């Protein structure tokens, strides 16, 4: 199973269109928020089911604030992250995930990509694809993550740049 994880497109969907063309078919598109009114367009171009949550710039949106769902054998929390102060630290997000038995958290908001794999002491994998429109990490390259569940159901993550 191939999952495309993106965030913070802010209504500028050209880069997302490029990523979809570049990655080829995926089984699921996950958007971690700040679509700014493009949710219908994103669902249309995805070519697969799409899960999208509201970000701090998705005013008056009918999108959910966050979602919990199963991806293979993994319990996933999808959130934009701003309610957990992720711009300062991942501490609150990690605590929330542990309290709910979450194994993978996918979030955005910081515009900086991150793959922080679960360790024995916390058991939570944190995934942030960065931003396709306004990247803030060194080099400021638009980024996204391809997640794959192999035939044994084990998750693998690949950070990619445009």
With 0.85 as the threshold, say if the pTM is over it: yes
Which residues lie below 8 Å from residue 131, measured CB to CB, with a gap of 6+? 7, 8, 9, 10, 108, 111, 142, 143
How many CA atoms lie within 13 Å of 41's alpha carbon, on the beta-carbon side? 12
pLDDT tens for 60-79 read: 999 999 999 999 999 999 99
Q: Which domains are delineated in the chain?
A: 2-161 (3.60.21.10)
The CA angle 109-112-117, to the nearest 5 degrees, is 100
Q: Give, rounded to a whole angstrom, the gap between the first and last alpha carbons of the chain.
A: 22
Structure confidence at residue 122 as a pLDDT band (50, 70, 90): confident
Q: What per-residue confidence (pLDDT) applies to 89?
A: 95
Task: State both tokens at 11.
Answer: 């209504």
pLDDT tens for 17-45 read: 999 999 999 999 999 999 999 999 999 99
Q: What per-residue confidence (pLDDT) applies to 123?
A: 86
């Amino acid at each position: 199973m191939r999952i495309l994880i993106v965030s913070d497109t802010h209504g500028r969907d050209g880069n997302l269109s490029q990523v979809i063309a570049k990655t080829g078919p995926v089984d699921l598109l996950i958007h971690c928020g700040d679509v700014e009114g493009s949710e219908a367009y994103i669902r249309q171009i995805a070519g697969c089911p799409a899960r999208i949550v509201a970000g701090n710039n998705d005013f008056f949106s009918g999108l959910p604030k966050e979602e919990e769902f199963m991806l293979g054998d993994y319990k996933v929390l999808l959130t934009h992250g701003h309610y957990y102060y992720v711009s300062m630290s991942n501490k609150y997000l990690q605590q929330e995930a542990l309290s709910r038995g979450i194994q993978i958290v996918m979030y955005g908001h910081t515009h900086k990509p991150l793959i922080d794999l679960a360790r024995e002491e916390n058991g939570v994998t944190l995934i942030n694809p960065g931003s396709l429109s306004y990247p803030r990490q060194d080099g400021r390259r638009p980024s996204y993550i391809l997640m794959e569940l192999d035939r044994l159901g084990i998750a693998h993550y690949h950070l990619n740049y445009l």
